[in-house]
C-alpha cells in the first residue's frame, strides 16, 4: 500500500486506512469472527493505520479491536482513537474526562499508547473549550507517553480554522467532504492546513453509502437532489460495468493533499476489494461523466452541530 507522510508527525501512513466503526455494530450486527478477520485482512493489505472511538458501539469497537490486535506486534500498526463524544447526545471535553478516557481506551485496546488521539465531533460543543481545556489536557497525556500526536475531528469546515488559528495541533480528520460529490475539504481547508504543517486525514469516501450500490439508509442526511444525483451516477457506473464505490474510493485516494482516507467495514471481502481498487488506475473518462452528473449538486451537504459552527 502506498504511503504518505502525515504533516509534521513523521508518521508514514497508508493512503487507505481501516475504520473500525463497524466493529461497534453501528450499522448491523457483527460476529466476532468477522470483526477479527476484518482487522487482520486490513493489516495484511497494508492498511496499518486503524481508526476507532469510544463512541463507536459505546466502547465495543475499541474492545473488539483490542481482541483482534492481541497477538499482533505493536510496531506493525498505528492506532488512532478519539475522546469527548460518548453517545449521540453525550459530550464531555473536560480535562478530567480526558485523562479518564485515554486510560479506558488504552485498557480496551490492550496497549500502553495510541499514536493519535482526536477530540471527536467538536462542532457539537462550545469549541473554545477545546482550545482552552481539552487540548492542553491532551498534551499532558503526550508528556505522560500515553499519546503521541493530538488533533480533532468534525464535519463543518469552519471548525478547522477556528481551532488552528488559536493553537497548534498535529493532525485533523474531516469526513464526507472529500468525495465524488463534495470536495469542500480540499477546496476550502486543506491548503490552509498544509501551510500550517497540520496532518490531513479524510474519512467517508463513500459518504455514508451515498456513493455505493447499497440502499440508502433512512438516517442519511444529504438533500434529496444529492441522493437523486447519486443514484443516477451509480446507474451510469453500473452500465459501464464498474461499481460506483470503486470510482469513489479511487477519487479520494488520488488527492495528494490528503495523507490518508479512512474507510470502514466488518466485511473482510469489502476490504479486499478496496485494497485491489487502490492499486488500479481510475477510469478518467467515467470520472468526468460522473462529475458532470454531480455538478448541479456539487458541495451540497447538510448542517451538523451547533448552528454557529456550520
**Of residues 204, 286, 208, the one with CA closest to residue 244:** 286
175 φ, ψ to 5°? -135, 145
In terms of Cβ atoms closer than 10 Å to its own Cβ (0-12, 13-18, 19+), residue 110 is middle
Cell 501512513 sits at which residue?
13
Q: Judging by DSSP bridges, how do beta strands 171-175 and 199-203 pair with one another? A: parallel
Catalytic annotation, pick one of 56, 86, 155, 178: 56
CA distances for 65 relative to 213, 239, 263, angstroms: 27, 38, 15
Residue with cell 486503524: 50
Alpha-carbon distance of 16 to 28, in angstroms, equals: 23
Whether 56 is catalytic: yes
Whose CA is closest to 11, among 279, 153, 199? Answer: 199
Confirm if 267 and 38 have CB atoms less than 8 A apart: yes
CA-based end-to-end distance of the chain: 35
Three-class DSSP category at 246: helix
**Nearest-angstrom CA–CA distance, 235 and 143:** 52
Candidates 266, 288, 287, 268; CA nearest to 276 is 268
**Would you give the DSSP letter of residue 85?**
B
- Residues that are catalytic: 56
Amino acid at each position: 500500500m502506498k504511503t504518505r507522510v502525515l504533516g509534521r508527525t513523521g508518521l508514514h501512513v497508508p493512503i487507505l486506512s481501516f475504520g473500525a466503526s463497524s466493529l461497534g455494530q453501528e450499522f448491523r450486527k457483527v460476529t466476532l469472527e468477522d470483526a477479527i478477520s476484518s482487522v487482520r485482512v486490513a493489516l495484511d493489505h497494508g492498511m496499518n493505520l486503524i481508526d476507532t472511538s469510544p463512541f463507536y458501539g459505546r466502547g465495543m469497537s475499541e474492545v473488539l479491536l483490542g481482541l483482534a490486535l492481541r497477538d499482533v506486534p505493536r510496531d506493525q500498526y498505528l492506532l488512532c482513537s478519539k475522546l469527548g463524544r460518548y453517545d449521540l447526545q453525550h459530550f464531555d471535553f473536560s480535562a478530567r474526562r480526558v485523562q479518564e478516557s485515554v486510560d479506558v481506551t488504552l485498557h480496551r485496546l490492550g496497549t500502553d499508547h495510541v499514536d493519535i488521539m482526536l477530540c471527536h465531533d467538536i462542532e457539537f460543543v462550545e469549541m473554545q473549550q477545546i482550545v482552552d481545556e481539552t487540548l492542553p489536557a491532551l498534551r499532558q497525556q503526550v508528556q505522560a507517553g500515553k499519546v503521541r500526536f493530538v488533533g480533532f475531528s468534525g464535519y463543518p469546515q469552519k471548525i478547522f480554522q477556528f481551532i488552528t488559528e488559536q493553537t497548534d495541533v498535529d493532525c485533523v480528520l474531516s469526513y464526507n467532504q472529500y468525495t465524488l460529490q463534495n470536495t469542500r475539504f480540499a477546496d476550502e481547508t486543506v491548503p490552509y492546513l498544509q501551510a500550517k504543517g497540520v496532518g490531513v486525514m479524510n474519512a467517508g469516501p463513500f459518504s455514508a453509502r451515498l456513493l455505493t450500490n447499497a440502499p440508502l439508509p433512512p438516517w442519511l442526511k444529504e438533500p434529496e437532489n444529492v441522493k437523486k444525483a447519486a443514484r443516477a451516477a451509480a446507474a451510469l457506473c453500473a452500465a459501464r460495468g464498474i461499481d460506483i464505490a470503486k470510482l469513489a474510493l479511487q477519487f479520494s485516494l488520488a488527492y495528494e493533499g490528503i495523507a490518508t482516507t479512512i474507510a470502514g467495514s466488518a466485511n473482510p471481502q469489502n476490504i479486499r476489494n478496496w485494497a485491489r481498487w487502490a492499486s488500479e488506475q481510475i477510469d478518467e473518462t467515467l470520472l468526468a461523466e460522473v462529475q458532470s452528473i454531480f455538478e448541479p449538486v456539487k458541495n451540497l451537504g447538510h448542517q451538523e452541530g451547533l448552528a454557529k459552527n456550520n
